[in-house]
Amino acid sequence: MNSTVVVVSSSKTHSFSKLNQASINLIEGIGVQGDAHAGKSIKHIYLAKKDPSRPNIRQIHLIQSELFEELAEQGFDVEAGQLGENVTTQGLDLLSLPTGTQLKIGENAVIELTALRNPCVQIHNFKKGLLKAVMGKDDDGKVVRKVGVMGIVAAGGEVKPNDVIEVIFPEQPHSPLQYVW
Residue 117: CA count within 13 A, CB half-sphere: 26
Task: Kindly give the confidence (pLDDT) of every residue in the chain, 181 residues in length, as a single tens digit, with 9 standing for 90 and above.
Answer: 699 999 999 999 998 999 999 999 999 999 999 999 999 988 877 777 887 888 899 999 999 999 999 999 999 999 999 999 999 999 999 999 999 999 999 999 999 999 999 888 889 889 999 999 999 888 999 888 999 999 999 999 999 999 999 999 999 999 999 987 6
Q: How far apart are CA 160 and CA 21, in angstroms?
A: 8
Please give the model's pTM, rounded to 2 decimal places: 0.94
Neighbours of 9 (CB within 10 A): 24
CB 60 within 8 A of CB 26: yes
Exposure string for 22-33, b = 16+ CB within 10 A, e = fewer: eebbbbeebbbe
